[in-house]
Amino acid sequence: MRIGELAERTGISRRLLRYYEEQGLITPERCANGYRVYSEEFVDRVTQIRGLLDAGLPTRIIRQVLPCLNRPRDIHFTDATPEMLALLERERDAMSRRIEVLARNREAIGAYLVAVRDR
């Protein structure tokens, strides 16, 4: 698929997809005319990238973590530093806190909907 279709399917702008490419997060094939060509797997990959960015991870860390997302039992970092590991731990803990808040909010909204519908 071309960049326009990937943008449409993921809800990510073409400009942002090109930025992901500049950052080394995605690497599309190129046609002879220079057009980018993306395989089906890029739909999930771009969604993963967006989620990691939304979670607050910087692109330099995402670039290192992405290979592990498809092969969770084959995780190794040749350049893992104590700082990077500490950053990942902080981000993991922050994600857990956000998940807890979202779960509480979901339950509160559900209770509100039940109360309003029962009237």
Q: Does domain 1-73 sit in CATH 3.30.2310.20?
A: no
Per-domain boundaries in the chain? 1-73, 81-119
- 3-39: per-residue pLDDT in tens? 999 999 999 999 999 999 999 999 999 989 988 899 9
The pTM of this model reads 0.69
pLDDT at 74: 56
Please, which contacts does 9-16 make with residues 24 or more away whose CB atoms are closer than 8 Å?
9/43, 10/43, 10/46, 10/47, 10/50, 12/46, 12/50
Distance CA 55, CA 58 (A): 9
pLDDT at 75: 58
Residues above pLDDT 70, as percent of the chain: 92
> Residue holding tokens 């190129």?
30
Please say whether the beta carbons of 37 and 1 come within 8 A: yes
Q: What is the DSSP letter of 23?
A: T
Span 92-110, average pLDDT: 92
pLDDT at 28: 93
